[in-house]
């Protein structure tokens, strides 16, 4: 897990321009500029609709909302989204509750809806700081659509926005304008002939999109990333719902089984390809890969600034959540062949995320620079901006002028706190006891950027594989069982034994002999891991390590007598383990969390 080259869960980041993802010079001798100084950041919580104390009908009383524009639940399933193109609003989806029964006009403020929230302290004409865009949309305007949940994203026309696999469309009216009334709004499904689509991302050109589609292969959950074009079809002829919809056409799968894979075999040698494409940060057109982060903790959601000079990432860095597992550097990602779904699942404890927002410049982690924690200011008290019980969720987002970042957080709730859990459950200090909050960070010393150019993107991504309906899914190639040698780039080698039935690998056993990729850190010892799949999403690892290294640091990673046994359902992510695994870096000792914490 030390060199995180093949996390299938990585976010599909679509870059507006190309420079951020350009490869650094191939000489490897770049003189990188010194890291930036920390900059001033001001953070506020954005207003959300008022909270109804219960989910009972009518719980959203006139006292709570005198304007009768709805209430959200204490647990509103908030998903923060992008800014609208005017930079004065952030869109989000939230669960409304407690509305009166029809025919009361306020009865429409129920369920998952898309809202726009003012970010500049002003209000809509009715006095609210937010506007519900989709409350009251007639049924005939949303046939075939699904619940408005994940990843709300605005189009640049200000008149459309995407959430889950729907496009919310207000015709000629901007979503935030008084002209955009519920009868004008349509919620159109996005339809792909080849399967269900998730984790959609609009390309900055607003006609293409990236998305994931989940798979079940070899008894395990997997996913592939895709790129395609969206085309409106007012009168579909095939499929389940024949209502007007957006269709995904001209699709490229962003995985080519014939291209170099992260781990490959050449005769008796094992070869690692850091440039193999496992969709994460990449140059969409050329497929060139540049590694942006180096910290051993887990990074996942991210957004690149409009000028491609900065990234905001959500990372467990700084929390020590996974240092016991990944803190030792210079270990090649060989056991990762079988452990990534388990190791990446240690990042959360159920609904408790350990994600913190960080700001990192174009050149990424280097030396002692690991970016600037965006919400570092604050006194750590309950409800403060750096209260560790408030955890960020996917995705953070830049404003169009590059001076603001929005992110959102959930407060830890049972069973990740309270009861058997040593972490006492905090009492929410947010309005109405709300357990979700939407945040706005302003980078106060920055000058607003002019609108940025948008790179052209080819219709079909040249390094991917064009797909047609009915095409079979590829299998991710894996090294065949056998004993291989992995040579250190600078010195030493490793003996790698791969055991499996030819379809799935069960065991990877590695012995390092003065192994070094960088000529500085020298790795010795052995590590072997056996992974057993218990269900589509649950697996269990029997892990034995006795690794130590010298060089920049004196480090070790050792399991106790009897090894370390980890079992996680990657859809639930409750930490459950037996035995011990301890990583020590220059005398600092890191141990795994207790079960269920
Ligand atoms: C929204 O709230 C309702 C109850 O008011 C609940 O049944 C539903 O599951 C919630 N939806 C989400 C996505 O949280
Ligand atoms: C705040 O945003 C609204 C909506 O875009 C805009 O009309 C108004 O001028 C903005 N006010 C300030 C002070 O920026
Ligand atoms: C799909 O791609 C082909 C080939 O590039 C192009 O001719 C066609 O116009 C594209 N379809 C749409 C709907 O743009
Ligand atoms: C892995 O290590 C354990 C403990 O030393 C040992 O019992 C087992 O045989 C090893 N497995 C392989 C495949 O080397
Ligand atoms: C812990 O040990 C017990 C008893 O040996 C075993 O039944 C259980 O499955 C183990 N749990 C994990 C996570 O390995």
Question: Would you list the DSSP string of 488-499?
Answer: -SSEEEEEEEEE
Per-residue pLDDT for 24 more than 80? no
pLDDT value of position 8? 28
Q: Is 268 within 8 Å of 486 (Cβ atoms)?
A: no
Strand order in the sheet with 436-443: 41-45, 436-443, 404-411, 390-398
Radius of gyration of the chain (CA): 25
pLDDT value of position 287? 81
* 3-state SS class at 61: coil
* 3-state SS class at 431: helix
Q: Distance between CA 347 and CA 573 in Å, rounded? A: 8
Ligand 5 geometric centre to CA of 576 (Å): 9
Q: Distance between CA 335 and CA 528 in Å, rounded? A: 7
The mean pLDDT value for 371-380 works out to 96
Ligand 1 geometric centre to CA of 110 (Å): 9
The mean pLDDT value for 241-252 works out to 95
Q: What is each CA distance from 443 to 81, 401, 406, in whole angstroms?
A: 19, 11, 11
pLDDT value of position 275? 83
The mean pLDDT value for 264-277 works out to 90
Best probe residue, ligand 3, of 206, 250, 457, 461 (max atoms within 8 Å of C-beta): 250
Per-residue pLDDT for 12 more than 80? no
The mean pLDDT value for 386-401 works out to 96
Q: Pick the residue with more confidence: 41 or 596? A: 41
Q: Is 7 within 8 Å of 322 (Cβ atoms)?
A: no
Q: Distance between CA 226 and CA 22 in Å, rounded? A: 21
Q: Is 286 within 8 Å of 331 (Cβ atoms)?
A: no
| Cβ–ligand 3 contact at 459 (below 6 Å) | yes
What DSSP character marks residue 37?
P
pLDDT value of position 325? 96
Per-residue pLDDT for 307 more than 90? yes
Ligand 1 geometric centre to CA of 47 (Å): 21
pLDDT value of position 576? 93
Ligand 2 geometric centre to CA of 124 (Å): 10
Going by CA atoms, what residue is nearest to atom 5 of ligand 4?
544
| Cβ–ligand 3 contact at 450 (below 6 Å) | no
Q: Pick the residue with more confidence: 11 or 70? A: 70
Going by CA atoms, what residue is nearest to atom 2 of ligand 5?
578
| Cβ–ligand 3 contact at 179 (below 6 Å) | no
Q: Distance between CA 313 and CA 20 in Å, rounded? A: 14
- Of the bound ligands, which one is closest to the alpha carbon of residue 563? 4
The mean pLDDT value for 145-152 works out to 96
pLDDT value of position 30? 64
End-to-end CA distance of the chain: 21
Check the CA dihedral 184-187-192-197 and report its sign: positive
Answer yes or no: pTM beyond 0.85.
yes
Residues facing residue 209 across a β-bridge: 202, 228
Q: What is the mean pLDDT of the chain?
A: 91
Going by CA atoms, what residue is nearest to atom 14 of ligand 5?
565
Residues in the chain: 597
Per-residue pLDDT for 27 more than 90? no
Q: Is 515 within 8 Å of 507 (Cβ atoms)?
A: no
Ligand 2 geometric centre to CA of 117 (Å): 12
**Apex CA 361: angle with CA 295 and CA 260, to 5°?**
60
Per-residue pLDDT for 117 more than 90? yes
pLDDT value of position 466? 97
Going by CA atoms, what residue is nearest to atom 8 of ligand 4?
528
Going by CA atoms, what residue is nearest to atom 10 of ligand 5?
578
Going by CA atoms, what residue is nearest to atom 6 of ligand 5?
578
pLDDT value of position 4? 28
Q: Pick the residue with more confidence: 235 or 219? A: 235
Ligand 1 geometric centre to CA of 113 (Å): 11
Ligand 2 geometric centre to CA of 131 (Å): 14
In terms of Cβ atoms closer than 10 Å to its own Cβ (0-12, 13-18, 19+), residue 154 is: buried
Portion of the chain with pLDDT greater than 90, in percent: 82
pLDDT value of position 279? 66
Per-residue pLDDT for 569 more than 80? yes
- Rounded to 5 degrees, φ, ψ at 265 are -110, 135
How many Cα neighbours within 13 Å face the side chain of 372?
A: 15
Q: Distance between CA 383 and CA 390 in Å, rounded? A: 8
* 3-state SS class at 571: coil
Ligand 3 atom having least distance to the Cα of 231: 13
Q: Which of 304, 315, 299 is nearest to 397 (CA)?
A: 304
Confidence of residue 282 (pLDDT cuts 50, 70, 90): very low
pLDDT value of position 25? 37
The mean pLDDT value for 87-101 works out to 98
Residue ranges per domain, the chain?
41-255+289-319+352-466
Q: Distance between CA 223 and CA 340 in Å, rounded? A: 13
Q: Distance between CA 327 and CA 555 in Å, rounded? A: 9
Q: Is 235 within 8 Å of 244 (Cβ atoms)?
A: yes
- Of the bound ligands, which one is closest to the alpha carbon of residue 175? 2
Portion of the chain with pLDDT greater than 70, in percent: 94
Per-residue pLDDT for 14 more than 60? no
Residues 6+ apart with CB under 8 A from 37: none
Ligand 4 geometric centre to CA of 522 (Å): 23
pLDDT digits (tens, 9 = 90+) for 535-555: 988 999 999 999 999 999 999
Q: Which of 22-26, 552-556, 564-568, 574-578 has the lowest mean pLDDT?
A: 22-26
Ligand 4 geometric centre to CA of 563 (Å): 10
Per-residue pLDDT for 444 more than 50? yes
The mean pLDDT value for 242-251 works out to 96
| Cβ–ligand 2 contact at 120 (below 6 Å) | yes
| Cβ–ligand 3 contact at 231 (below 6 Å) | yes
Per-residue pLDDT for 1 more than 50? no
Ligand 2 atom having least distance to the Cα of 121: 1
Residue 349 CB neighbour total at 10 angstroms: 25
- Of the bound ligands, which one is closest to the alpha carbon of residue 117? 2
Strands (E), 412-518: 436-443, 465-467, 482-487, 491-500, 505-516
Ligand 1 atom having least distance to the Cα of 75: 14
- Of the bound ligands, which one is closest to the alpha carbon of residue 541? 5
Q: Which of 77-81, 107-111, 288-292, 392-396 has the lowest mean pLDDT?
A: 288-292
Ligand 5 geometric centre to CA of 508 (Å): 21
Query: How far is CA 542 from its chain centroid?
Result: 28
Ligand 4 geometric centre to CA of 42 (Å): 53
Ligand 4 atom having least distance to the Cα of 507: 13
Confidence of residue 498 (pLDDT cuts 50, 70, 90): very high
Q: Distance between CA 158 and CA 155 in Å, rounded? A: 6
| Cβ–ligand 5 contact at 574 (below 6 Å) | no
Q: Which of 169, 279, 270 is nearest to 222 (CA)?
A: 279
- Of the bound ligands, which one is closest to the alpha carbon of residue 543? 4
Ligand 1 geometric centre to CA of 111 (Å): 6
Ligand 5 geometric centre to CA of 379 (Å): 40
Per-residue pLDDT for 502 more than 60? yes
- Of the bound ligands, which one is closest to the alpha carbon of residue 562? 4
Q: Which of 204, 7, 184, 163 is nearest to 81 (CA)?
A: 163
Per-residue pLDDT for 382 more than 80? yes
- Of the bound ligands, which one is closest to the alpha carbon of residue 131? 2
Q: Is 529 within 8 Å of 507 (Cβ atoms)?
A: yes
Going by CA atoms, what residue is nearest to atom 10 of ligand 3?
250
The mean pLDDT value for 279-286 works out to 64
pLDDT value of position 220? 78
Check the CA dihedral 139-143-149-150 and report its sign: negative
């Amino acid at each position: 897990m030390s060199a995180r080259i093949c996390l299938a869960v990585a976010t599909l980041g679509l870059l507006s321009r190309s420079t951020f993802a350009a490869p650094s010079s191939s000489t490897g001798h770049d003189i990188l500029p010194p890291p930036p100084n920390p900059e001033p950041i001001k953070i506020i919580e954005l207003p959300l609709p008022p909270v109804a104390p219960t989910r009972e009908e009518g719980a959203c009383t006139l006292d709570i909302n005198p304007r009768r524009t709805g209430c959200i639940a204490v647990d509103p399933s908030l998903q923060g989204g992008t800014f609208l193109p005017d930079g004065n609003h952030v869109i989000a989806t939230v669960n409304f509750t407690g509305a009166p029964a029809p025919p009361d006009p306020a009865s429409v403020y129920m369920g998952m809806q898309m809202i726009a929230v003012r970010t500049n302290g002003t209000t809509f004409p009715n006095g609210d700081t937010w506007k519900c865009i989709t409350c009251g949309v007639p049924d005939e305007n949303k046939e075939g659509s699904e619940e408005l949940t994940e990843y709300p994203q605005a189009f640049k026309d200000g008149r459309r926005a995407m959430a889950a696999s729907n496009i919310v469309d207000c015709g000629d009216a901007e979503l935030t304008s008084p002209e955009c009334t519920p009868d004008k709004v349509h919620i159109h499904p996005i339809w792909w002939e080849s399967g269900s689509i998730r984790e959609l991302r609009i390309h900055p050109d607003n006609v293409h999109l990236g998305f994931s589609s989940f798979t079940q292969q070899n008894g395990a959950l997997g996913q592939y990333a895709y790129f395609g074009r969206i085309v409106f079809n007012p009168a579909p002829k095939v499929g389940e719902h024949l209502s007007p919809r957006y269709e995904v056409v001209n699709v490229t799968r962003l995985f080519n089984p014939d291209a170099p894979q992260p781990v490959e075999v050449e005769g008796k040698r094992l070869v690692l390809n850091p440039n193999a494409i496992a969709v994460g940060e990449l140059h969409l057109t050329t497929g060139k890969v540049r590694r942006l982060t180096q910290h051993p903790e887990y990074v996942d959601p991210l957004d690149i600034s409009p000028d491609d000079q900065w990234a905001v990432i959500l990372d467990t860095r700084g929390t020590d959540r996974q240092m016991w597992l990944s803190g030792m550097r210079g270990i090649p990602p060989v056991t990762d062949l079988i452990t990534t779904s388990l190791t990446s699942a240690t990042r959360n404890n159920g609904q408790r995320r350990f994600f913190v927002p960080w700001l990192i410049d174009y050149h990424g982690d280097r030396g002692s620079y690991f970016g600037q924690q965006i919400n570092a200011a604050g006194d750590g008290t309950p409800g403060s901006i750096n209260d560790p019980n408030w955890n960020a969720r996917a995705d953070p987002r830049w404003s169009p002028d590059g001076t603001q970042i929005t992110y959102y957080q959930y407060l830890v709730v049972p069973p990740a706190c309270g009861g058997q859990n040593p972490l006492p459950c905090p009492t929410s200090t947010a309005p109405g006891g709300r357990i979700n909050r939407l945040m706005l960070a302003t980078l106060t010393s920055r000058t607003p950027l002019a609108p940025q150019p948008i790179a052209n993107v080819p219709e079909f991504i040249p390094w991917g594989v064009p797909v047609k309906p009915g095409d079979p899914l590829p299998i991710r190639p894996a090294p065949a069982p056998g004993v291989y040698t992995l040579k250190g780039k600078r010195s030493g080698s490793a003996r790698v034994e791969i055991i499996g039935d030819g379809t799935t690998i069960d065991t990877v056993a590695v012995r390092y002999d003065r192994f070094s990729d960088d000529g500085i850190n020298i790795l010795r010892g052995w590590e072997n891991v056996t992974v057993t799949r218990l269900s589509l999403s649950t697996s269990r690892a029997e892990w034995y390590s006795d690794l130590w290294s010298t060089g920049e640091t004196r480090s070790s990673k050792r399991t106790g007598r009897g090894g370390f046994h980890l079992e996680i359902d990657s859809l639930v992510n409750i930490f459950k383990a037996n035995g011990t695994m301890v990583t020590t870096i220059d005398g600092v000792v890191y141990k795994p969390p207790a079960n269920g914490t």
